[in-house]
Chains A and B, each alone.
Chain A
Amino acid sequence: MRKGFDAQLEQLKNEMIVMGSLIETSIAMAIKALIEQNKEQAQKTIAFDEQINQKEKDIEALCLKLILQQQPVAKDLRTVSAALKMITDMERIGDQAADISEIALLLADSPYIKKLEHISLMAEETAKMVTNAVDAYVQRNLVKARNVIDADDIVDSYFDAVKDDLIGMISKDVRNGSQAMDLLMIAKYFERIGDHAVNIAEWVEFSITGVHRQSL
């Protein structure tokens, strides 16, 4: 029964996986550009955002088509409506990876005042959060979704560590201030990416349970 509908839902899940992997790639590209002080890579990352924006539009169109043609209810409606909400946060993550690359361009010409240890860890952790959130959506895995929500604390603690380091660098030498501000911005972008990943996971949770925790 409803083979066509099930095929469309399957297509939606596949598209979500594709968008998730685009985001993972954009985060990886952004951190590579930053760490390697590679301007070309930074430019590529900024341009890459267009692919994510396009994917958001494609998925949005697919969801609207599904609602129009199939009038989904219950689990099906939650699957479609959660996707519509998730892609907004996913698209914002793409923007932030591009924003990070914009700053990477500015930072490419002078040596770093410190090793970007925690920022790298933030990139790694947030990319993992996004991937796991999308996996949780596709697999309808509540535990995985909730693990993503919990992982935000790790990202937040890295952010605090970065902030403390940078304050230390400025105290040591005020000439570090300018670069420290830029690095703090970058850390903040990663921290925001973590928040978006949490939003995504909360919608995954909703798609499984029918209850959004923010509505409780």
Chain B
Amino acid sequence: MDKMMVKNLDLYYGDFQALDDVNLAIPENQITAFIGPSGCGKSTMIKTLNRMNDLIEGCKIEGEVLLDGKSIQELDVNTLRKRVGMVFQKPNPFPMSVYDNIAYGPRTHGVRSKAKLDDIVEKSLMDAAIWDELKDRLKKSALGLSGGQQQRICIARALAIQPEVLLMDEPTSALDPISTAKIEELVSTLKKEYTIVIVTHNMQQAVRISDQTAFFLHGQIVEHGTTAQFFSIPQDKRTEDYITGRFG
């Protein structure tokens, strides 16, 4: 079943067209990877999925994005972002304790009970595979953690508001190989409960963790299919050239 659908989507930053007639289905409980060279529109696309582009001046969007069959434009933006969470390239924990980082979202959404918040923090940190490392340091500042730990805090923070879809924009590009491996393993586990969309420059990462891959070029999707098929028998010459490193 498709959790999200992108239909005939055009996106302009002023006069520049960043996305050109994008059509894409994002299946539920699967990991969809967006790949493509810098400036191809993949980050713009992922941000469009929870309306992060709304804030950008001069950004105009045509076409539609559906979440469970309903246009995201018709949803309240806070509700949308609660349902479609996001993790960014650079870990960006808030300058507060580990606990408060995770509790921030639920508190914003009105959860006040200490016991409930404790539960959420524990479950989120467990789901983000970092509970064992941090359970004794919940009151310490999140800024003192390693990059890999900070990124998992950000994932836990996104999970704390129980989203349905998790968007990840190059979540491991700033991390060392061990932290990267932990995040990849984590993402593979999370797909049981969440639908995940990940932008990555690391093609081996796309091969390792994703079920679906979409290749963006000049704002268009050149090819989209199951990852196994995509990296074994790409249908389009441009895809073949890109993934085999013979692009341009």
Contact = CB atoms under 8 A, between A and B. Distances in A.
Interface stretch (A66-74, A108-116, A121-129, A188-196): A66-74
A211 B233 CA distance: 9
Interface string A88-116: 00000000000000000000000000000
A71 B203 CA distance: 10
Contacts of B232: 73-74, 77-78, 210
Closest 9 pairs (CB-CB, A-B)? A210-B233, A73-B231, A2-B245, A73-B243, A1-B246, A76-B244, A74-B234, A74-B240, A74-B244
Given A73-B231, A74-B234, A209-B233, 10 more contacts: A1-B247, A2-B244, A5-B245, A72-B244, A74-B231, A74-B244, A75-B240, A77-B231, A77-B232, A210-B233
Interface residues of A, number: 14
Interface of B: 203-204, 207, 231-234, 240, 243-248
A73 B240 CA distance: 9
Contact of A73 (B203, B247, B248): B203
B242 to A, nearest CB: 10
A145 to B, nearest CB: 17
A77 B232 CA distance: 8
Residue with the highest number of chain B CB atoms closer than 10 Å, among A1, A2, A74, A211? A74
B239 to A, nearest CB: 8
A76 B207 CA distance: 15
A6 to B, nearest CB: 8
